[in-house]
Structure 1
Amino acid sequence: MLHGFNDRSGRWFHIPVAGILLPAVHPGEDLYFLTASGDFFLFASNSRRELIAVNLAANAVKKIPASPLGPRGTSSWRRSGLKLIAGPPGSDRFRFVFAEMYENRPVLFAYCSETDTWRSAVAAEDDVGVTRSGENNIIFLSVIHRRRESVIISAAGPESERPIVFRPRFDGGVEGLAVGLIAGDAADRLHVYGDGKMAVVRSDGEVGSMRVRAFVIICIELWGVSLDGNGWDFICRVPKKLIERIKKPYGVMMGCLEERDGVVRVVLLSNYEGLWDLIWLSYDVDGRHWKWVPLPDDRTEGLNMAGIAFSSAFRLRSFGS
């Protein structure tokens, strides 16, 4: 079952996908939700290490052949390092791209559903000196995030023959750095990456009920890759008054980030003692304004969450709510 939230209507909707997936998924197989675009949703299977694309508009499912790197387990995929690009509305075409280090070189891998083939391109060192961050056709994919340095591939669309690699450094403090997940005593800081931006979620740890370690958000910062691609530039912080409205105790947290049409959206999914919580924030780049989107309760207690993603062009009217 897909649980979705529409920020314009302020409503949850549910889409049963088990019937669509049935021809492509073996009984008992665990699926991990990777990403979405338009009416397309991409899943990774755990034991068989396959990629499975679902077209909700056409009620169809498609297995994607293994990439040049071979079959990959669910733990090999990083949301900030991949992107699904749906074709024009009504089309059954899509492209899927991801970035990875291969033979110690950053490589862009791209799949085209129309030809059912993969191609790859080694990212070249930047010789222009500008990232072109914010342009609609530019794709940013994360390759590696170390304690002080990131490796990011920039490409002019999924068909780019010449992707560029940038290595921005982050000097905003490295104590307790976590990439993508906070759990237990591991860290008090979460970095969420996407589209050349980075949300830094800083938390304070405390001991909750039954000696369970809990965290509480104390600050959220937004950073962006600098124009020359050599560093991360600080953009802004979420106002303290807004932090007070959204902070709740949590044990583990993950997130996703998207920039589209001048708006940066950040969703944080957390769990505390079996209870799930979602925080949805958006930042208007031109207006320099943060907005919190309250989400009504969706009765998610005890559910096994298998991933989160944005889909800005999803046609909700086709499937009800």
Structure 2
Amino acid sequence: MSEWLYEAGIGEARAVLVADAGIVEARIELEQTGPRIGAVLPARLVEITVKGREGRVSFAGGEAMLAPLPPGITQGSTLLVELVREAIPEGRRTKLPRCAPAEGPERGGPSLLERITASGVAVRTCRAHEPDHFEAAGWSEVLEEAQTGDIVFTGSVGGALRVSPTPAMTLFDVDGYPPLEPLALAAARAVAAAIVRFDIGGSIGVDFPTLTGKAARGAVDAALDAGLPQPFERTAMNGFGFVQIVRRRARVSLPELLRADPAAAEARALLRRIERIPPPAPAQHRVAPGVQKVLAANPHWIAELARRTGVTPIFEVA
């Protein structure tokens, strides 16, 4: 039986879909002041970047790329838009969110809790004084997979995946030992599961071992189809073992989110661990310089931790 577990953390909200005592989907929503995906709000066209096709709009809380452009719209015009994709981190730069023309009424985008509640699957809110249901399901292991990109899988044979987000696509590299056909089949199931678990969208490339024989390549294609929910498109495996998958992309994947600011991810994880320490919680904590910098920039996180634990924490550089 499937169940969503939810935590209202400090600096982030967390949710995992658990089935058979394992995590099927893992989601993190960072605290934010701007509008969420799905919000319908007024905006102003500040620039036409591609005549008749695309422009840049501004709104309360930020900017986004607008496509398609309504017929006859001119620079400076106002209109209602719906946010359809988050900002995407790409190394040193961030790709602006995307939006589309919309009709009213204005509305806010759903929060993570609202989205999982609307899924129809039971939701259990977990609290710090309770047993750690997230860890029991494998939360730390999932975060480590997303941060490092290293995923070990088993099947009739074992192997490993290396996940590498790039500006062009998310790449999966399959590693393992012969026999190659069962390795590729087990890897296809692991790739599909990782795509769902990490909410990876957009263009995805998978480099499988080179398989000889149409039947063997077709079996891998079928395993991907069975493991990925629609809608998506994919190419058939080519003679070099490469498959491309394209899925709708609305949000940042978990690997992208954690790797965009590793120090902030470590700081939020630290706050979660401290919050779960049985009272009396220690006051002093030694942290890496990057983590201390993040915490110093977010004093409301420290204030919230003090409110929840009853102890004002002191963070010193290790």
Q: If the length of structure 2 is used for normalisation, what is the TM-score? A: 0.23
Structure with greater helix share of residues: 2
Structure with greater strand share of residues: 1
Q: If the length of structure 1 is used for normalisation, what is the TM-score? A: 0.23
Q: Rg larger in 1 or in 2?
A: 2
